Amino acid sequence: FIRARQRAQASTILNEARQLDAAKDQYALETQRTGTMVPVWNDLTPYLKVGSRLAVSGGTDLVGNPFSLNTVSVSIQVHSSTQSSLTAATGGSTFWGPYS
């Protein structure tokens, strides 16, 4: 049961990272930002579903660690503490793909 719950949490965090990546891309397109610019959390919230957990999280994942926004040209990163706390359910860093 615990492993299934952790796997569900990891999947949710991965989906949120994908949503943030899409929001960052949309923000960059609409505001004509270059690849070296690093957005702040408030830049991305207008591109997230209003009232969703992600939109009101302040940039943290389900475990409470912050997402790393990086530059416009680099993918969102899931915090290493989040990855390590869910390793038993995910099997390691390959689960996180480009967000590790």
Distances from the Cα of 83 to the Cα of 2, 54, 75, angstroms: 16, 18, 16
Give CA–CA dist 93/100, Å, rounded.
Answer: 6
Give CA–CA dist 61/16, Å, rounded.
Answer: 8
Give CA–CA dist 7/79, Å, rounded.
Answer: 16
- Residues across the chain: 100
What pLDDT was estimated at residue 17?
96
pLDDT in tens, 19-73: 999 999 999 999 998 888 999 999 999 999 999 999 999 999 999 999 999 999 8
- Quote the pTM value: 0.91
